[in-house]
């Protein structure tokens, strides 16, 4: 029944060591989002894909990159994680931007040592 799957659920990396988080969806939605949620804060939008069209939020650091090789999968790459990047990373999908419901995955909690 899983619709938006995030792997792994928990990821530990070292300061400066590149890390990749993955998201897959079974809904065939054409829009996929990545959010960052730090402890006790609201989710913050990092970027999204509308089909293959990538849209970066203006304040998303260059350290964060994303890839979407096909409709089902989307990856978040953190090139050089810092201690401040420790957070929950949430993937979400929707069929159309704007009015439609977003479906969220359970998140990947990233720890940076």
Q: Residue 77's closest CA among 46, 40, 44?
A: 46
Nearer to other proteins, 12 or 96 (CB): 96
For the bound state, the minimum distance from the C-beta of residue 29 to other proteins, rounded and expressed in Å, comes to 13
- Residues with Cβ < 8 Å from 54, sequence gap 6 or more? 47, 48, 66, 68
What is the nearest approach in angstroms of other proteins to the Cβ of residue 80? 26
Residues that bind other proteins (CB under 8 A): 4, 33, 42-45, 48, 90, 92, 97-99, 101-107
Question: Which is nearer to other proteins, 43 or 81 (by Cβ)?
Answer: 43
Selection from 57, 70, 66, 56 nearest residue 20 by Cα: 66
């Amino acid at each position: 029944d899983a619709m938006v799957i995030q792997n792994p659920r928990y990821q530990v990396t070292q300061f400066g060591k590149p890390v990749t988080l993955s998201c897959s969806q079974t809904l065939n939605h054409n829009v996929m989002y990545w959010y960052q949620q730090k402890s006790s804060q609201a989710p913050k939008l990092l970027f999204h894909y509308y089909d293959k069209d990538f849209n970066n939020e203006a304040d998303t650091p260059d350290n964060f990159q994303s890839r979407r090789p096909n409709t089902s999968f989307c990856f978040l790459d953190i090139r050089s994680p810092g201690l401040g990047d420790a957070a929950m990373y949430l993937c979400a999908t929707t069929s159309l931007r704007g009015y439609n419901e977003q479906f969220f995955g359970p998140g990947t909690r990233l720890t940076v040592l």
